Structure 1
């Protein structure tokens, strides 16, 4: 390793430790010696100049905090001596230019996807079951048990086999080989199931918001058809859901089977009807086969979670370059997690193609932060204990690194939660920073693949869209190989450039989108779904 410290932008006054440093170490950096004043673990931040109390701290070229007490050159930044601080923004201050990446090697590439009648193309072919209200969760679970077992969509659980062997006293691996031998009856279709705790209670706005999210899942190109269960008396009425679906796609051609329990009679009668009619729909959907599609048909969600001090200098900027490549190819990258854009608003506002979007972005950010403050919190409380432990000690510091996932391309649209992506190029979508809530929302807005960077590790997946994990460091990739798809650790070691790693990410996305490689989250059966509840319970 050539250096033990790295500075992201020339104007930064702090650097990231690339290895563990110890008090008294002399580190050569940018032509001068930096004496380390405190033991500093890799990923944490070290001052490059003497900082007095109240001095501004810059990283990624933006304000990320202020010193609470003096920090000497070579001193460690901690939650005790630094507080969150971010620059304010009120308008566009400049028109930014974009250095479009060279897409010569990509412009004629295709992926093998499932073409829908509305022109969208899926990376998966899913028949989706879900309820409009939590009262129907049990019936969804019953249907899940029936369809998964009888259609053999999932391999028998290795854990269940292990327990059987322990109970019987057989060798631990006796039946595992048999469990792995099961084959699905249908080759071109998966059946997935969603449950949730919404649809009634709360406020009516929550029901409307949930209807938009669920309608987005039906309209997502990865879905071939859907079976929807309603109780009948809940806030999220069938007509509200149908309205949301019509707004997403007025000429939707997909089969959507809707059942209302209070009109169907007994549970047994209703389930028998659902099974018969859904099975016919699944059989028909199985006839759809993959065909070549332009990379412009990819809508790629950009997510991060379990971030560490390396995320912003390896995995996130590499994903940002992949995002730029896709934007240049006419695809639609989607950047979300608004609490994790705090501190970089000015850059994002300046990248908005039109003034209305710039104003909308600022208003959504202000409204979101106000709601957090009104609830007794704030964006400054966004970093998790895991983030802080691994060097992300302020929200602005975390945000400046997280925003790198969005690359440098112009922002073509600003969307509120539940709105659907229709424009090529980078889209910003208002969601929470919570991993699953954000991923859930991006897929509901049309993402047919999600790339998820992580420094600490997370198993997050999605019922209808593959979620690829990019490790910020090789230690994580080696420790959790069952959840990590791509290792960006070579960037930290200086073995690959950001651009090279970005191209590797896009190549892997194409393979997964074509069904050639299975996302690790899908292999684990990790189907996470959490709607964002913005209101109170009544």
Structure 2
């Protein structure tokens, strides 16, 4: 189905994807017939394999990704200039209400993790310094910065001290969805198993009081938690000094933790994609999907998210939902996003981003079809609200924005102890306290950003590696990283500033 210039993903498709830039006048072999290139087409973009009438569907992955805005001749570049969204579309529905079986794997792969007193398992061993409000953010960073470099030499079993800060916590209603969401996110981080202990730091007069956060954590069997209030301590210098002393005590306790053998079922994997390109749905995303299916067969959990980026591909998820209730819950989330976007004068198709379009993605339908493939083929077991604690095993969905830092923040608050992030343009995202594995869509990206990319799915393009083989390799890498192998973002020191909670409600 491929030659050195283009790939046709399915015989029913009327577009193919270029493997390199092709120029006007060249000829390409597509699906057994020869097509003359009528316009220059960049690498990763689409070329019409046959004539497409104006108003007809443009198909890729055997799915509609848009409609032709005019007649498109075979050999033409197919992109935003001649393809648009359909005027009306209905959300997909599940085909039936029968349960979807999950094949259990006979073997049980393992990794080396930190087993916490409550039974959760961490892939890293951090101390967190968590701000209740933006007014305490600088103090949190000052406390964490005291433990950079040689200050950690005595704590060989601890990965570091990280400040978790944000731009909210005050000038908001003291009750309602906004503060409830912020508190759920902050307490979710505090109880993430990659933290061995946390220090909560507040100013004292804010709406989001540290005492309220501590009360929420108390019944959850969370890690050791301490509190400081700047106004009670006498100011910035006094709070930093006291905070450093408290973190020292927490480090002494955390350093006693050691890695032990645990089953792969204890992994909770957050699935992310960002900076996508025309290859994302061909290589990195389906590779991650294979790895997800392996994890699910081992009894583990994978969290698919970014609700606006499944728009147009939701039927692929509802068709394999564990029940009609799960399917309907997902569809209701999409309907909410349609209303939310419309209230702000926008629409869900304002995504793809300019970078996505430059990489060859034309519509949100095309992006979503590729993005959903990160979830593999497993049954969809549950749908969670943002930052809710994920308790179901298998493939689940968490409602989040498409903005990667906000989405990953929700997943980590929900308990994810590992993130896998596919990228075609090149993302440098990190996410302390949870390691992020970066998966490149092409060999050229992997080589260009070698110090930022952890896994190369590019060999799939030239046929030297199958999607299944690459997925198995990525699964093995996940286990290695969960056992302590550092990711590129960790080596580069990324992840201290990527806590970005989803903020809702009025700022007053």
TM-score band by shorter chain is over 0.9
User: Is the 1:193–1:463 contact (alpha carbons within 8 Å) kept by the matching residues of 2?
Assistant: no
> 2:53 aligned with 1:20, yes or no?
no
> 2:184 aligned with 1:216, yes or no?
no
Q: 1:377 to 1:537 in 2, by over 3 A?
A: same
Match of 2:34 in 1: 33
Match of 1:59 in 2: 60
Match of 1:4 in 2: 5
- Shift, 1:141, TM fit: 2.1
User: Which is further off, 231-240 or 442-451?
Assistant: 231-240
**What is the Cα-based RMSD across aligned positions, in Å?**
1.9
Task: List aligned pairs for 1:7-156, cutoff 5 A.
Answer: 7-85=8-86, 87-89=89-91, 91-94=93-96, 103-104=105-106, 107-148=107-148, 151-152=151-152
User: Is the 1:63–1:87 contact (alpha carbons within 8 Å) kept by the matching residues of 2?
Assistant: no
| Matched length | 501
User: Is the 1:5–1:16 contact (alpha carbons within 8 Å) kept by the matching residues of 2?
Assistant: yes
What is the rounded CA distance, in whole Å, between the counterparts of 1:99 and 1:495 in structure 2? Answer: 32
Q: 1:454 to 1:466 in 2, by over 3 A?
A: same
> 2:490 aligned with 1:522, yes or no?
yes
Q: TM (normalized to structure 1)?
A: 0.89
Q: 1:22 to 1:96 in 2, by over 3 A?
A: farther
Structure 2 residue corresponding to 1:534, chosen from 501, 504, 507: 504
What is the rounded CA distance, in whole Å, between the counterparts of 1:356 and 1:96 in structure 2? Answer: 12
What is the rounded CA distance, in whole Å, between the counterparts of 2:195 and 2:70 in structure 1? Answer: 55
Q: 1:83 to 1:507 in 2, by over 3 A?
A: same
User: Is the 2:269–2:303 contact (alpha carbons within 8 Å) kept by the matching residues of 1?
Assistant: yes
SS in 2 for 1:330: coil
Structure 2 residue corresponding to 1:425, chosen from 384, 394, 398: 394
Deviation sequence 1:16-42 (CA, Å, 0-9, x none):
111221212221222211222211111
Q: 1:510 to 1:3 in 2, by over 3 A?
A: same
User: Is the 1:212–1:245 contact (alpha carbons within 8 Å) kept by the matching residues of 2?
Assistant: no
**What are structure 2's unaligned runs of at least 5 residues?**
none
Task: List aligned pairs for 1:159-174, cutoff 5 A.
Answer: none
Q: 1:392 to 1:536 in 2, by over 3 A?
A: farther
Match of 2:249 in 1: 280
SS in 1 for 2:198: strand
**What are structure 1's unaligned runs of at least 5 residues?**
153-183
Match of 1:233 in 2: 205
What is the rounded CA distance, in whole Å, between the counterparts of 1:349 and 1:239 in structure 2? Answer: 41
SS in 2 for 1:111: strand
What is the rounded CA distance, in whole Å, between the counterparts of 2:113 and 2:154 in structure 1? Answer: 21
Deviation sequence 1:501-535 (CA, Å, 0-9, x none):
001111111111111x2100011111121111233
Q: 1:94 to 1:432 in 2, by over 3 A?
A: same
Match of 1:179 in 2: none
Structure 1 residue corresponding to 2:163, chosen from 170, 193, 196: 193
Q: TM (normalized to structure 2)?
A: 0.94
Task: List aligned pairs for 1:480-491, cutoff 5 A.
Answer: 480-491=449-460
- Shift, 1:469, TM fit: 0.5
What is the rounded CA distance, in whole Å, between the counterparts of 1:269 and 1:422 in structure 2? Answer: 40
SS in 2 for 1:404: helix
Q: 1:40 to 1:242 in 2, by over 3 A?
A: same
